Amino acid sequence: MKNAIAELDGDEMTRVLWKVIKDELLLPFVDLNTEYYDLGLKNRDDSDDKVTYDSAAAIKRLKVGVKCATITSNQARVEEYNLKQLTPSPNGIIRAELDGTVFREPIFVKNIHGTVSCWKKPIVLGRHAYGDIYKNTEIKTPCAGKAELVFTGEDGTVIRKLIKDMPGPGIIQGIHNLDKSIESFARCCMTYALDRKISVWFGAKDTISKTYDGNFKAIFQRVYEQEFKAKVEEAGIEYGLTLIDDAVARVMRSEGGFMWATKNYDGDVMSDMIASACGSLAMMTSVLVSPDGNFEYEASHGTVQKHYYRYLKGEKTSTNPVATIFAWTGALAKRGELDGTSELTDFAKKLEKATLDTIEAGYMTGDIARIASPAPVAVLNSWEFIAKIREALEAML
């Protein structure tokens, strides 16, 4: 490895597996060069989250990071870990620092069949993670009355529009978004689609919401025309704007293999649909991409708390490490690509193949054994599964 990647350690069962993955699948084969940040909950609390901000700065400087799942604290965790305070979500901090968008993608293996039979390749879902109903203001109106939308500009401009002369009690809601956030989102989507050489579709409801969704569409189009058109054409991929209903219909009858860029709510709902249609949360990768092309790879599941408590009692749990392995391979392959060290990228691809080959040969963890067809040869615990992957990797190398 020529240059380092930022390594963000985490919590509970995923922290346990993090070390096993490094010891068994990385350190024997790669001169691993990382800048280590301990994002374990206690250390975040002790440092008042400085370690989280430092790790985000490291990702910006090094351009590549890999992150273990972390606990987002709540009152129960404050007591469990004897914390000073309720710390904010580390993913939220890093996402805000990088101004990034999260892309989620299922990992396909032949013997785990999703429920949508025409999907042959993964669908990458990019969710705009700012504004709309997630930052809304709502009123339950008690009686008949006039509902209005009022904007008071810094310069004194006042814009006022009638929502409805309401003949009886009801509900009203105010939502917003910002041009700057939508621009970043469009850039992140196109940057990542180019990186992966896959086409990108953005769907919105601009036929009905001509100003609000119309603004999303106009900004996507402008960012595309001004910054990406030439690169997209050169890469031989497609870029398309469509209605959200049309996007849903196309997705359901597609073969997959493209990026679906969505508004915040659509992404919330549709990412759960794609994840459950593909089998398991532990077979789903997640990458945070900043508009200027920094990449942070992680698993999309959490710290698998229940398994951790069983592990603490001495059980060798059958926790699926695949998404965490793929977080590492994603980061190493990206490092290799940026540094021109093809051996590193090649190693990452081989480790991915060894992992998939192991599952396809019938050796897997309990979560996917339940949905595998044909039935698995053996259901392994995490340590046995990782040892099997290592055998396959060594045979390949």
Per CB under 6 A, does 285 bind ligand NAP? Answer: no
Which residue has its beta carbon closest to ligand NAP? 302
Contact flags string 212-251 toward Mg ion, x per CB under 5 A: ----------------------------------------
Which residue in the set 80, 245, 272, 315 belongs to the binding site for Mg ion (CB under 5 A)? 272
Q: How far is the CB of 331 from Mg ion (least distance, A)?
A: 25
Instruction: Tell me if residue 141 falls in helix, strand or coil.
Output: strand
Q: Whose Cβ is closer to ligand NAP: residue 56's or residue 251's?
A: 56
Contact flags string 40-69 toward ligand NAP, x per CB under 6 A: -----------------------------x
Query: 384: which 2 tokens?
Result: 């046995």
Cα–Cα dist 188/8, whole Å: 22
Cα–Cα dist 383/374, whole Å: 23
Which residue has its beta carbon closest to Mg ion? 268
Segments in the chain forming alpha helices (H): 12-21, 41-46, 50-62, 75-80, 90-98, 179-196, 212-223, 229-235, 244-252, 264-277, 305-312, 322-339, 342-360, 366-369, 382-396
Cα–Cα dist 248/158, whole Å: 38
For residues 262 and 127, is the Cβ–Cβ distance under 8 A? yes
The piece of 128-136, 240-248, 258-266, 295-303 that touches ligand NAP (CB under 6 A) is 295-303
Strand order in the sheet with 101-106: 34-38, 5-9, 64-67, 295-299, 284-289, 101-106, 124-127, 259-262, 200-204, 239-243
Per CB under 5 A, does 134 bind Mg ion? Answer: no
The piece of 70-78, 194-202, 215-223, 346-354 that touches ligand NAP (CB under 6 A) is 70-78
Number of residues lying near Mg ion (CB under 5 A): 2
268 binds, among ligand NAP, Mg ion, none (CB under 5 to 8 A by kind): Mg ion
Neighbours of 356 (CB within 10 A): 18
Choose among 387, 353, 359: nearest CA to 371.
359
Residue 39's DSSP bridge partners are none
Contact flags string 300-339 toward ligand NAP, x per CB under 6 A: -xxxxxx------------xx-------------------
Q: Whose Cβ is closer to ligand NAP: residue 184's or residue 320's?
A: 320
Per CB under 5 A, does 268 bind Mg ion? Answer: yes
Interface ranges with ligand NAP (CB under 6 A): 69-72, 91, 281-282, 298, 301-306, 319-320, 367
